[in-house]
């Protein structure tokens, strides 16, 4: 057994049996080790941003880490944007990044770089395996870090000579998971006391608080005390749809958010952060809360949110609390004529199958998605968390690998879709059950809005050429077909509904270019 074999065995001993990869020469011995392990599913991404984004989608839905395999510092750098999103989503992940043999570093070969410095901003843990004897211990440390709290990003740098050198055979054992931080009874009692006071209160949640059982309990608490229950703006995973609690997110638009919180006197945070603007805007505040609003941080994202919510319920007494308000299955009338983002959302409410996974990077076009789909079939909702675009199609790819028996639906803006369009090839190669809906407005619509929001005026010729995607426009049907994915175009509400119905009833990847 060499170091690469030991790394692979250690991953498998801890249930990490999926590796999203884009390897190079320095990782070839790990590739060979993976080749000797039929239990490990190896999935190639044609760009490192696809690799890290897919590992994010996998981890969010599997509730366990995937491994990634990346080639030296430049390969890691190509994947950093989606590692940023995964870090914000608190997705567990173990990145294996190859490095030169230890004795080769002194020669400053062309691909030599400071991998540690590249990894640290997007990783909770960074470590090096520079000898075969250290591989097992360092891999265990990486796995332990990835499993800590709600989930963390661990990056293990594997030197080529540590991978190819023989090491005494060891039988890896599962790494004990670190104990979750117990709820702070003082914070629980403070939140309970605030609810009893009767002031205008918002309960803002994220993480495991957005799973169905926790939402039901929180809705009962909110209803009993007349509080408002909301999700923070960006969340890794939400369970929503018919038979579940209908919950809205903090709006992206700063004026809407300021109006929403204008009368809030108390804010109880459950894993969430106090709401702030996504960006700074001239003449507008960064905080969305009114002056004097009391903020109670009941439990941090890394803490035992499930236990904390149960403790809060015990403290406030739930005997007389009403049942949770679960939304009924609804089907709004299908629109006709012009295809709009609202028409797309309504069609989804009709045709989305039960237990679908929706991966949303529709950006501007999908802001009203929740309104039409509260009563859709029950589904999981994954969204862009860190604001770094290019996550949508990789996220759907990883979710489909984690949940092969569930339909995955990707809501994809056309501009951000081009960042990681290679994910379509992986979907075709792995025969993943993904329907990708491209909102083809042929412009960076969000940037047109932001140009106005920051007071920079109307776009002139130079600005327009940086914000629009015309001349030439992107042909998404041909792009999809070139990647091996069947595609079709819709420019009316009727045609879109027809295509979506067919796509949801069949298996395998399919792309709909929705011209809006």
Domain co-membership, 160 together with 189: no
For residue 354, what are the CA distances in angstroms to 241, 348, 375, 409?
Answer: 9, 11, 11, 12
Whose CA is closest to 50, among 386, 416, 393? 393
Beta bridge partners of 280: none
Domain co-membership, 141 together with 272: no
Question: At residue 434, what are phi and psi to the nearest 5 degrees?
Answer: -125, 130
Instruction: Give the CA dihedral 369, 372, 374, 378, nearest 10 degrees.
Output: -80
pLDDT higher at 179 or 64: 64
- pLDDT (0 to 100) of residue 267: 98
Give the list of residues 6+ apart from residue 393 with CB closer than 8 angstroms, or none. 50, 53, 361, 410, 412, 417, 420, 421, 423, 424, 427, 436
- pLDDT (0 to 100) of residue 450: 84
For residue 288, what are the CA distances in angstroms to 188, 195, 247, 274?
Answer: 24, 21, 19, 8
pLDDT above 80 for 72: yes
Q: Give the chain's domain count.
A: 3
Q: What is the mean pLDDT of residues 192-221?
A: 97
Give the list of residues 6+ apart from residue 63 with CB closer than 8 angstroms, or none. none
pLDDT above 80 for 320: no
Domain co-membership, 132 together with 244: no
Domain co-membership, 10 together with 120: yes
pLDDT above 90 for 110: yes
Radius of gyration for the alpha carbons in the chain, expressed in angstroms and rounded: 24
- Give the chain's mean pLDDT: 95
Give Cα 353 to chain centroid, integer Å: 21
Domain co-membership, 301 together with 368: no
- Assign residue 397 the CATH number of its domain: 3.40.50.970
Structure tokens at 511: 């792309």
| 471 domain-assigned | yes
Beta bridge partners of 229: 203
pLDDT above 90 for 433: yes
CB burial readout 187-216, b (16+ within 10 A) else e: bbebbbebbeeebbbbbbbbbbbbbbebbe
Q: What is the mean pLDDT of residues 240-244?
A: 98
- pLDDT (0 to 100) of residue 384: 96
Q: What angle do CA 74, 77, 82 make, to 5 degrees?
A: 145
Give the list of residues 6+ apart from residue 223 with CB closer than 8 angstroms, or none. 321, 322, 324, 325
| 325 domain-assigned | no
As separate numbers, helices (DSSP H) first and strands (DSSP E) second, the chain gives 20, 17
- pLDDT (0 to 100) of residue 468: 86
Residues belonging to the chain? 516
Domain co-membership, 132 together with 197: no
Cβ atoms of 228 and 293 within 8 Å: the answer is no
pLDDT above 90 for 34: yes
Cβ atoms of 328 and 481 within 8 Å: the answer is no
Q: How many CB atoms lie within 10 A of CB 172?
A: 18
Domain co-membership, 237 together with 308: yes
For residue 477, what are the CA distances in angstroms to 411, 438, 482, 510?
Answer: 15, 10, 9, 10
pLDDT above 90 for 66: yes
Domain co-membership, 387 together with 469: yes
pLDDT higher at 464 or 386: 386
Pairing of the two strands 408-413 and 238-240: unpaired
Domain that holds residue 220: 185-316
Summarize pLDDT for 210-232 with one digit per residue, the tens: 999 999 999 999 999 999 999 99
Cβ atoms of 225 and 316 within 8 Å: the answer is yes
| 69 domain-assigned | yes
* Rounded CA separation 511/509 (Å): 7
CB burial readout 295-323, b (16+ within 10 A) else e: ebbbbbbbbbbbebbbbbbebbeeeebee
pLDDT higher at 473 or 513: 513
- Assign residue 235 the CATH number of its domain: 3.40.50.1220
- pLDDT (0 to 100) of residue 170: 80
Q: pLDDT confidence of 322, banded at 50, 70, 90?
A: very high
Q: pLDDT confidence of 260, banded at 50, 70, 90?
A: very high
pLDDT above 90 for 234: yes
* Rounded CA separation 449/437 (Å): 22
Domain co-membership, 36 together with 150: yes
pLDDT above 80 for 443: no
Domain co-membership, 482 together with 450: yes
| 78 domain-assigned | yes
* Rounded CA separation 197/205 (Å): 20
């Amino acid at each position: 057994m060499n170091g690469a074999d030991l790394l692979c065995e250690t991953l498998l001993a801890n249930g990490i049996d999926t590796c999203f990869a884009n390897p190079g020469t320095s990782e070839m011995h790990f590739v060979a080790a993976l080749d000797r392990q039929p239990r490990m599913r190896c999935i190639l991404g044609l760009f490192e941003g696809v690799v890290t984004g897919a590992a994010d989608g996998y981890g969010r839905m599997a509730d366990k880490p995937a491994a990634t395999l990346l080639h030296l510092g430049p390969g890691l750098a190509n994947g950093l944007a989606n590692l940023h999103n995964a870090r914000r989503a608190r997705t567990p992940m173990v990145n294996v990044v190859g490095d030169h043999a230890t004795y080769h570093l002194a020669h400053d070969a062309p691909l030599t770089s400071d991998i540690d410095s590249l990894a640290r901003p997007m990783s909770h843990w960074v470590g090096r395996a520079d000898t075969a004897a250290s591989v097992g211990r360092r891999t265990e440390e990486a796995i332990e870090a990835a499993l800590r709290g709600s989930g963390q990003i661990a990056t293990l740098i594997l030197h080529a000579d540590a991978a190819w050198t023989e090491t005494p055979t060891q039988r890896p054992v599962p790494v004990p998971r670190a104990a979750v931080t117990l709820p702070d009874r003082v914070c629980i009692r403070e939140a309970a006391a605030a609810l009893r006071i009767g002031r205008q209160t918002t309960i803002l949640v994220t993480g495991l608080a957005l799973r169905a059982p926790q939402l039901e309990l929180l809705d009962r608490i909110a209803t009993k005390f007349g509080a408002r229950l909301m999700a923070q703006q960006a969340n890794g995973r939400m369970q929503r749809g018919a038979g579940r609690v209908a919950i809205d997110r903090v709006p992206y638009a700063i004026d809407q958010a300021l109006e929403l919180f204008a009368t809030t006197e108390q804010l109880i945070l459950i894993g969430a952060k106090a709401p702030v603007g996504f960006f700074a805007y001239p003449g507008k505040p960064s905080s969305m809360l009114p002056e004097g609003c009391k903020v109670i941080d009941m439990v941090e994202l890394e803490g035992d949110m499930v236990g904390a919510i149960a403790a809060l319920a015990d403290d406030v007494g739930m005997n007389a609390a009403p049942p949770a308000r679960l939304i009924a299955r609804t089907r709004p009338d299908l629109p006709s004529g012009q295809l709009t983002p609202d028409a797309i959302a309504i069609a989804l409410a009709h045709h989305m199958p039960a237990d679908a996974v929706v991966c949303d990077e529709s950006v501007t076009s999908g802001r009203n998605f929740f309104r039409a789909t509260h009563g859709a079939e029950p589904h999981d909702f994954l969204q862009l968390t860190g604001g770094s675009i290019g996550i949508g199609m990789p996220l759907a790819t990883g979710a489909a690998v984690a949940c092969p028996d569930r339909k995955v639906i990707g809501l994809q803006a056309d501009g951000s879709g081009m960042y990681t369009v290679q994910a379509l090839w992986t979907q075709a190669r792995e025969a993943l059950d993904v329907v990708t809906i491209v909102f083809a407005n042929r412009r960076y619509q969000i940037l047109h809005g932001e140009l106005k929001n920051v007071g920079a005026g109307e776009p002139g010729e130079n600005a327009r050429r940086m914000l629009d995607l015309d001349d030439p426009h992107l042909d998404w049907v041909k792009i999809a077909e070139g990647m091996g994915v069947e595609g079709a175009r819709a420019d009316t509400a009727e045609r879109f509904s027809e295509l979506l119905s067919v796509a949801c009833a069949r298996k395998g990847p399919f792309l709909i270019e929705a011209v809006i």
